[in-house]
Amino acid sequence: MRKPLIAGNWKMYKVPSEAELFAKELKNMPAYGDRDIVVCVPFPAISGVRRILAETGIFVGAQNVYPAKEGAYTGEVSPLMLKDAGVLFVICGHSERRQIFNETDDFIAEKVKAVIDYEMTPVLCIGETLKQNEAGETFTVIEKQLKTGLRHISGDAIRKIIIAYEPVWAIGTGKNATPQQAQTVHRFIRKFIEQNYGQVARDVRILYGGSVKPENIDDLMCEEDIDGALVGGASLRFESFSRIVGFQKK
Ligand code: PGA
């Protein structure tokens, strides 16, 4: 059984004092035993938010990492630093990092490995652009991103990974993939994992991301291969995030 997971991605929003106020508000969410909740917060807010959310069952995640333990990498943050700060989940290869910062599948693969090496959970983001979607290239793109992004992951380590399917055309646009569209790609992803890693594919959580909101979460969660959501904009406000976290399968 795969435990559903709702992850908020705050992106570059909320200064640390705002983040801490928001974390205090999040403590008012009901406790759910049947789903995991994560907030991926900006680096400067990690310690403060983590302190506030300790013992709430809400986990703290990071939005990026540099794949080296330490070194002369001005401005970067290592997996060791994240681990020590109490981070459990790390987003790797978000489409904004791919597009704005030119991150390649090879570099993202190193991040995924580094996160695993430090016993945290990578959330590997993949997804096609509008142009690729319209050209009918969705599956080719997804397959390449998976193949390369997971190239250092062998055998059972795949269990420790979360995949987030985020069609780029749906991110921050208000235009989400329909549950059926998402399900088709999620099924493809699970098949890929099964072909490459075997039956363990049944245990790997695959999240959907891209304009997830209170109005569409319940339908998305009804799909067999959608195990949760990576939520951007709607994770920044209590009402919308708590409603998404409290999804009900119809
Ligand atoms: P969105 O972002 O929910 O605002 O579309 C999702 C994401 O970028 O992870």
DSSP-H helix ranges across 65-160: 79-84, 95-100, 105-117, 130-134, 138-149
pLDDT at position 250 is: 78
Distance CA 51, CA 220 (A): 32
43 domain residue, yes or no? yes
Residue ranges lining ligand 1, Cβ < 6 Å:
9, 166, 171-172, 209-212, 230-234
33 domain residue, yes or no? yes
Mean pLDDT value of segment 62-78: 98
Q: Is the pLDDT of residue 174 over 90?
A: no
> For position 188, which CATH number holds?
3.20.20.70
Mean pLDDT of the chain: 97
Residue among 210, 215, 205 nearest 232 (CA): 210
Digit-coded pLDDT (tens) for 113-144: 999 999 999 999 999 999 999 999 999 999 99
Distance CA 152, CA 161 (A): 12
pLDDT at position 167 is: 97
Which residue from 91, 231, 244 has its CB within 8 A of the most atoms of ligand 1, so it is best to mutate? 231
CB neighbour burial string for 60-87, b if at least 16 within 10 angstroms, e if fewer: bbbbbbbbeeeeeeeeebbbebbbeeeb
Which residue from 9, 126, 236 has its CB within 8 A of the most atoms of ligand 1, so it is best to mutate? 9
Digit-coded pLDDT (tens) for 230-249: 999 999 999 999 999 999 98
250 domain residue, yes or no? no
Digit-coded pLDDT (tens) for 93-112: 999 999 999 999 999 999 99
Catalytic residues: 94, 166
Q: How many domains does the chain have?
A: 1
189 domain residue, yes or no? yes
Range of the domain at 115: 5-245
Q: Where are the beta strands (DSSP E) in 1-57?
A: 5-9, 36-40
29 domain residue, yes or no? yes
Phi, psi for residue 75 in degrees, rounded to 5: 90, -5
pLDDT at position 175 is: 83
Tokens of 7: 């992850």
Q: Is the pLDDT of residue 148 over 90?
A: yes
222 domain residue, yes or no? yes
pTM score of the predicted model: 0.97
Mean pLDDT value of segment 4-14: 98
Ramachandran area for residue 107 (φ above 0: left; ψ -120 to 50: alpha; else beta): alpha
Q: Is the pLDDT of residue 30 over 90?
A: yes
Digit-coded pLDDT (tens) for 179-198: 999 999 999 999 999 999 99
